[in-house]
């Protein structure tokens, strides 16, 4: 997604002649833009052998407040799937944002823009360009 949005090349972070991405390059890019990535769960159980969130059970949730306490300049939380969105909503009692939109969430005395983005998974049935349009709106709003 970031390759397409920031470099107009969806394969920008792909390792040449391989079907995988360069994790170090992605981390360096995210650090340069002030983007932090983390899961809403530290331990999950797949109830069926597929990637669907529908059959995912969170065994150990991430301590999101403690994580955010470590990044005091953070102003937004972005989820990239229904399970992550539901986790934030249930944990902090906020409104579910519309797809591609935002609401507000209060965590530990701080207020954040809470964005709900479409899953970046190839299994999610939406064209990459349409997904990218949602992310572009969010990045522009957040000044990235």
- Domains in the chain: boundaries: 1-34, 63-141
Residue 9 has phi, psi (to 5 degrees) of: -150, 105
Smallest Cα–Cα separation from 51: which of 11, 97, 83?
83
> What Å distances lie between residue 87 and 21, 28, 40, 50, 56, CA to CA?
28, 28, 7, 20, 12
Least confident of 7-16, 54-63, 77-86: 54-63
Q: How does pLDDT run across 29-77, given as a tens digit for each residue?
A: 999 999 999 988 888 888 877 766 777 788 888 999 999 999 999 999 9
pLDDT value, residue 1 = 86
pLDDT number for residue 57: 80
Tell me what the mean pLDDT of segment 78-91 comes to: 92
pLDDT of 94 > 90? The answer is: yes
Q: What is the pTM of this model?
A: 0.86
Asked if residue 25 lies in contact with residue 13, where contact means CB atoms within 8 angstroms, the answer is yes
Percent of the chain with pLDDT over 70: 99
Question: What is the reported pLDDT for 106?
Answer: 97
- Residue owning tokens 């064209």: 127
Q: How high is the pLDDT of residue 48?
A: 78
In the block, residue with structure tokens 């998974």? 121
């Amino acid at each position: 997604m970031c390759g397409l949005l920031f470099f107009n090349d969806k394969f920008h972070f792909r390792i040449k002649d391989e079907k995988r991405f360069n994790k170090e390059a992605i981390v360096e890019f995210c650090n340069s833009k002030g983007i932090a990535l983390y899961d809403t769960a530290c331990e999950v159980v797949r109830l069926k052998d597929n990637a669907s969130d529908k059959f995912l059970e969170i065994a150990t949730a991430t301590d999101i407040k403690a994580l955010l306490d470590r990044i005091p300049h953070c102003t937004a939380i972005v989820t990239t799937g229904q399970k992550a969105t539901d986790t934030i909503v249930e944990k902090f009692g906020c409104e579910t944002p519309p797809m591609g939109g935002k609401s507000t969430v209060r965590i530990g005395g701080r207020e954040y823009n809470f964005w709900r983005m479409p899953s970046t998974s190839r299994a999610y049935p939406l064209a990459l360009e349409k997904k990218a349009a949602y992310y572009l709106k969010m990045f522009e709003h957040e000044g990235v």
